[in-house]
C-alpha cells in the first residue's frame, strides 16, 4: 500500500484529504506543522507528500526545499494563494505539482495517482535495450546522449525527452496536447505551443534540411509522428 503524508494545519481539510485518499487505497499520516511534517517525512518512507504552503512555523516552501534536498519522492503543494509567482516559486523549489484552494478532492486523488506512477516510471530500473537506433539516429538511454551518424547531438532535457518518446513510439501520431502532457506534465507552466517550439528545435538539430521530414513528420490537423 502506498503511504502518503499530509502536512496541513487545517484539521478539516487534512481529514477530508485523508478520507478521499484512504478510499482510493492509500495509507495516510497527518502533520499539523511544518517542523513536525518535515521530521516525519525524513524519518519515514512515503511515496508522496502533500504540503500546505501556509503552515505555522516553517512554511510549506521551506519544507519542500529541505525535503527535496534529502528525499526522492513526489511532492504536491497546496495553497489558497493563486498568484503565478507562488506557483513558480513552489515548482522552482522542486515540487511536482501546485494546486490552489478550493480544489476538488477527486482531482487531488487523480493527481496523487498520476505523480506516484510518473515517479515510479522514472525511478524503476528499465530492462529494455539501453539504446534505440532508427535510420542513423541513435539514443543511448543510460547516458542520455543522442548521436546522428556517429556524431553527438547536444540536447537539453526536454528536447531529449520529447525525441526519446517519439522514437520509442515510431509511426504513431501524437497530438500536441498528448505530447505536452507526457513530456511536461499535466500542470506544467506553459501551453501546447511549447511542443511546436521544441519540435522545430529538434528538426534544426537532426534533419539534414530543417524543412524536410526525414524523422519527425507533421500530420496536419492531428499532430506529429516519428517516421520509421
Place of cell 519540435: 199
Percent helix, strand, coil in the chain (nearest 5)? 45, 20, 35
Indicate if 111 and 138 belong to the same structural domain. Answer: no
Give the mean model confidence (pLDDT) for residues 179-195. Answer: 75
Indicate if 137 and 89 belong to the same structural domain. Answer: no
Indicate if 108 and 135 belong to the same structural domain. Answer: no
Indicate if 90 and 153 belong to the same structural domain. Answer: no
Ranking 33-37, 91-95, 154-158, 200-204 by mean pLDDT, the lowest is 91-95
Q: How would you classify residue 146: left for phi > 0, otherwise alpha for psi between -120 and 50, otherwise beta?
A: beta
Instruction: Please tell me the predicted confidence (pLDDT) of residue 228.
Output: 83
Helix ranges (H only) for the chain are 11-23, 34-43, 60-70, 84-92, 105-123, 157-168, 176-184, 193-206
Indicate if 104 and 147 belong to the same structural domain. Answer: no
For residue 149 the three cell numbers come to: 551518424
Cα 68 to Cα 93: distance, rounded to the nearest angstrom: 8
Instruction: Please tell me the predicted confidence (pLDDT) of residue 87.
Output: 83
pLDDT band at residue 225 under the 50/70/90 scheme? very high
Domain boundary among 64, 94, 123: 123
User: Measuring CA to CA, how many Å separate 225 from each of 12, 124, 162?
Assistant: 48, 27, 11
Provide the domain count of the chain: 2
Indicate if 83 and 169 belong to the same structural domain. Answer: no
Indicate if 11 and 116 belong to the same structural domain. Answer: yes
Domain boundary among 86, 107, 123: 123
Instruction: Please tell me the predicted confidence (pLDDT) of residue 38.
Output: 96
124-178 tens-digit pLDDT: 655 567 899 999 999 999 899 999 988 999 998 889 999 999 999 998 889 888 8
Give the mean model confidence (pLDDT) for residues 204-216. Answer: 80
Give the single-character DSSP code of 50. E
Cα 163 to Cα 155: distance, rounded to the nearest angstrom: 10
Cα 102 to Cα 212: distance, rounded to the nearest angstrom: 48
Predicted TM-score (pTM) of the model is 0.58
> Among positive and negative, which fits the CA dihedral 90, 122, 41, 14?
positive
Domain boundary among 71, 89, 123: 123
Coil/strand/helix, residue 155: coil
Q: Which domain holds residue 167?
A: 131-226
Indicate if 95 and 76 belong to the same structural domain. Answer: yes
Cα 58 to Cα 112: distance, rounded to the nearest angstrom: 23
Indicate if 150 and 89 belong to the same structural domain. Answer: no
pLDDT band at residue 214 under the 50/70/90 scheme? confident
Instruction: Please tell me the predicted confidence (pLDDT) of residue 47.
Output: 93
Angle (deg, nearest 10), helices 157-168 and 193-206: 80
Indicate if 78 and 135 belong to the same structural domain. Answer: no
31-88 tens-digit pLDDT: 999 999 999 999 999 999 999 999 998 999 999 999 988 888 899 999 988 788 888 8
Among 179, 215, 170, which residue's Cα sits nearest to residue 197?
A: 179
Q: Could you tell me which residues come within 8 angstroms of residue 127 by beta carbon, excluding any fewer than 6 positions away?
A: none
CATH number at residue 188: 1.10.10.10
Cα 148 to Cα 210: distance, rounded to the nearest angstrom: 14
Beta strand 131-134 with 137-140 is: antiparallel
CATH number at residue 117: 3.40.50.2300
Coil/strand/helix, residue 161: helix
Indicate if 10 and 41 belong to the same structural domain. Answer: yes
Amino acid at each position: 500500500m502506498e503511504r502518503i503524508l499530509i502536512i496541513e494545519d487545517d484539521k478539516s481539510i487534512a481529514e477530508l484529504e485523508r478520507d478521499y485518499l484512504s478510499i482510493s487505497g492509500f495509507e495516510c499520516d497527518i502533520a499539523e506543522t511544518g517542523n513536525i511534517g518535515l521530521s516525519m517525512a525524513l524519518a519515514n518512507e512515503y511515496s508522496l507528500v502533500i504540503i500546505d504552503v501556509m503552515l505555522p512555523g516553517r512554511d510549506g516552501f521551506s519544507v519542500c526545499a529541505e525535503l527535496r534536498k534529502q528525499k526522492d519522492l513526489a511532492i504536491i503543494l497546496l495553497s489558497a494563494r493563486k498568484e503565478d509567482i507562488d506557483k513558480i516559486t513552489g515548482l522552482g523549489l522542486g515540487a511536482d505539482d501546485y494546486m490552489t484552494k478550493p480544489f476538488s478532492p477527486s482531482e487531488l486523488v487523480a493527481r496523487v495517482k498520476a505523480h506516484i506512477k510518473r515517479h515510479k516510471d522514472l525511478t524503476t530500473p528499465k530492462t529494455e535495450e539501453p539504446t534505440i537506433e532508427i535510420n542513423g539516429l541513435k539514443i543511448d538511454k543510460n547516458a542520455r546522449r543522442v548521436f546522428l551518424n556517429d556524431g553527438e547531438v547536444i540536447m537539453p532535457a526536454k528536447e531529449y525527452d520529447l525525441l526519446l518518446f517519439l522514437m520509442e513510439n515510431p509511426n504513431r501520431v501524437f497530438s500536441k496536447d498528448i505530447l505536452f502532457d507526457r513530456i511536461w506534465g499535466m500542470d506544467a507552466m506553459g501551453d501546447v505551443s511549447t511542443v511546436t517550439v521544441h519540435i522545430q528545435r529538434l528538426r534544426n538539430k537532426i534533419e539534414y534540411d530543417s524543412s524536410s521530414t526525414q524523422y519527425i513528420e507533421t500530420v496536419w490537423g492531428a499532430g506529429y509522428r516519428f517516421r520509421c
